[in-house]
A and B are shown apart, each in its own frame.
Chain A
Amino acid sequence: MANKQEINPRIAYGEALLDLARSNRNIIALDADLCASTQSVQIENNLPEQFCEMGISEANMVSTAAGLSLCGKIPFVHSFAVFVVGRSFDQIRQGVCLPNLNVKIVGSSAGLSDFGDGATHQSFEDIALMRVLPNMTVLAPVDAVEVQKVVRAAAAIEGPVYIRLNRNDMQIVTGPATQFEVGKPLLLSEGRDVSICVNGITASMGLAASELLDKHGVSARVVNFSTIKPLDEVAVRSALAGTRAVVTVEEHSVIGGLGSAILECMSEAPLPTVRIGITDRYGQSAHDYGQLLQHYGLTAEAIVSAVMKVA
């Protein structure tokens, strides 16, 4: 890759939300005592009347957001992914998704990205839980550039949206002109033999794997999925068309996440598929994010091995 610049997506998220909130006074940011981490602090610092500290009470925060939405506000609810989804699942289901309310749930520090805090703070289940809810849109921006487009797209949707954010610097793989469209996969690198399906932090791994695979004489296509739901099935099949096999790579459980969503799209015309992700287990602490990704098998090398098996 020529451009391996890394930028923090949550800083970009806070900037994007602030930008949006300046032009729309109905946007309200809520947080459960983690606004510095989630970067909703940018709203608190600059537009304090559009920020609500909700204390360490995620369930109340989500239902409060439902009430705000019922009175015309556009609430963005923030916490770590593991808490805002896990502690508030019932509130999201009953109070937000069932009545199809215009509430945005922002799950920050998702996946392994809160590496030091360990299993309690790491989230491999959030996409599965949010994806199963009718009316919910599930978005996981691939880099700090795309975050801005994702925030705008989420605000433009009149209904619930879950946005999954990584805590750490991520390689920039899109440009300002790259189009983001909800439901559509994005081709990151062309290839003929095998499709590598990625999102979030795994995009850079997929691109690195594709370069390594070239040396093995395998042409790998890298397709990014910043939308996990709703997926445009025709667009997904078309993005994978012509390749013989698929490898999905996600910083999430292999149960119920991106790999599952893609397999569902291909169920009528399946291709041999290998899913790489967290294999039905919990996380743990490490001093370094990369070390943890490696431990759980999320590396370019692991993708290369998987591709070689199915290619």
Chain B
Amino acid sequence: MKRRRVVDNDLLNYLKEKARSVRLGVIDALGVGNRGHLGGSMSCADIVAALYFYKMRRSSDKVNDPNRDRFIMSKGHSVLAQYAALAEAGFFDKDVLSTTKSLGSILQGHPERTTPGVEANTGSLGQGLSIGVGMALAGKADDRDYRIYVILGDGELAEGQVWEAAMAASHYTLDNLTAIVDMNGIQAMGKTRDRYSIQNISGRFAAFGWKTFEIDGHDMADIIEALDAAASARGLPSAIIARTIKGKGVNFAENKHTYHNNLLTAEDRANAIASVMSM
């Protein structure tokens, strides 16, 4: 029987504000007139905020603490959300966000370890969960209790390597590994169900030997409960399948694949900020 934990309202409000900061940071990182991945960054913004400001054991002072929890943005194009969270958490100055994707910036178009707080290079889809498997194996080998969180896109699940990693994680009973699928239902060329259908994601992970959770990826209480439950699972890896809305928070971009990789005009930017502020 499912017991719904009462999540503290102050915590929820705190995390909702952090999620708002992440979304505003994404808009800053995107800037005006430059193409960038708005939709997927917004769809995972609540999850990213919950990880960085609630669940993960981490510190901007001790970036290389061997006991830190690790986060991997396997759908690397959504790194704008991670940059915003890292800036909010003090890994680098918020002013740096506006340099994203400019020549010589520490904030590249896809995650690179040259950015403080970025744990792995991703961008070629399908590899992040495998990297997480390696980190989880190392944690077990060293008897450290850190956890690894990997965000994947639902479109990304077409990459076969994801399922190779799913097999490995279950074979090695990596209960220190949590995959979070940002199931926004839209990939670059359109709706995932039309372009290249990936149904029953939860059932697929379960069949590969994972504990699974299905949640509303914009409901902070849902996210917190699933992250806590995943962390207490023993003997198997856990997958959180989060139903999300691509572009969430930017009303004119929601559920539109045209905002997978788009640019904002100055007017768009003002409207996007107003939309996020009214959430």
Residues of A within 8 A of B (CB): 28, 49, 52, 54-55, 57, 59-60, 62-73, 75, 90-91, 93-95, 98-99
Q: List 7 A-B contacts (CB under 8 A).
A: A49-B141, A70-B119, A70-B135, A72-B66, A93-B124, A94-B123, A95-B121
Check if B131 sits within 8 Å of A57, measured CB to CB.
Answer: no
Chain A residues within 8 Å of B165, by CB: 60, 63-64
Complex interface: chain B residues within 8 A of A73 (CB): 134, 138, 141
Verify A55–B167 contact, CB threshold 8 A: yes
B120 located at the interface, meaning its Cβ lies under 8 Å from any Cβ of chain A in the complex: yes
Whether B120 contacts A70 by the Cβ 8 Å rule is yes
Given A94-B124, A95-B120, A98-B112, decide whether A71 and B135 contact each other with a Cβ distance below 8 A. Answer: yes
Q: Do the beta carbons of B138 and A68 come within 8 Å of each other?
A: yes
Among the listed A71, A72, A98, which residue makes an inter-chain contact with B121, where contact means beta carbons less than 8 Å apart?
A: A98
Distance from A50 Cβ to chain B, minimum over Cβ atoms (Å): 8
- Separation of A91 and B128 alpha carbons in the complex (Å): 10
* A-contact 0/1 string along B113-124, CB 8 Å cutoff: 100000111111
Instruction: Type the 1/0 row for B10-25, where 1 means its CB is closer than 8 Å to any CB of A.
Output: 0000000000000000
Query: 14 more A-B contacts (CB under 8 A) besides A63-B131, A70-B134, A73-B141?
Result: A59-B160, A60-B161, A64-B165, A64-B168, A66-B131, A67-B132, A70-B119, A70-B131, A71-B134, A91-B161, A93-B124, A94-B123, A94-B124, A99-B112
**Cα distance A10–B15 when bound, in Å?**
55
A57 to B162, CA, bound (A): 11
Taking A60-B165, A99-B120 as contacts, is the C-beta distance between A67 and B130 under 8 angstroms? yes
Q: Is the CB of B131 within 8 A of A71?
A: no
B223 at the interface (CB under 8 A from A): no
Chain A residues closer than 8 Å to B70, beta-carbon distance: 70
Q: How far is the CA of A296 from the CA of B26 in the complex (A)?
A: 57
CB neighbours (8 Å) of B145 from chain A are: none
User: Which of B103-155 touch A at CB < 8 Å?
Assistant: 112-113, 119-124, 127, 130-139, 141-142
Q: Report which of B122, B139, B141, B168 forms a contact with A57, defined as CB distance below 8 A.
A: B168
Contact A67 B135 (CB under 8 A): yes
CA gap between A99 and B160 in the complex, in Å: 23
| Bound CA span A94–B123, Å | 8
Task: Indicate if B195 sits at the interface (CB-CB under 8 A).
Answer: no
With a CB–CB cut-off of 8 A, which chain A residues contact B141? 28, 49, 73
10 pairs of A and B residues whose beta carbons are closest in the complex: A67-B134, A63-B130, A71-B138, A60-B164, A57-B164, A64-B134, A67-B131, A68-B134, A67-B135, A94-B124
Expressed in whole angstroms, the Cα–Cα distance for A244 and B134 within the complex equals 51
Contacts of A98 in B (CB 8 A): 112, 121
Provide the bound-state CA to CA distance between A49 and B172, in Å.
12
Q: Which residues of A contact B135 (CB under 8 A)?
A: 67-68, 70-71
B130 touching A60 by the CB < 8 A rule? yes
Q: Is B171 an interface residue (CB 8 A)?
A: yes
B residues near A94, Cβ cutoff 8 Å: 121-124, 127
For the complex, give the distance between the alpha carbons of A52 and B131 in Å.
14
Q: Mark B44-86, 1 if CB is under 8 A from A, else 0.
A: 0000000000000000000000100010000000000000000
Closest to A60 in B: B164
A95/B168 in contact, CB under 8 A: no
CB distance from A40 to the nearest CB of B (A): 16
Query: How far in angstroms is the closest Cβ of chain A from B116?
Result: 14
In the complex the two chains form, what is the Cα distance from A70 to B146 in whole Å? 14
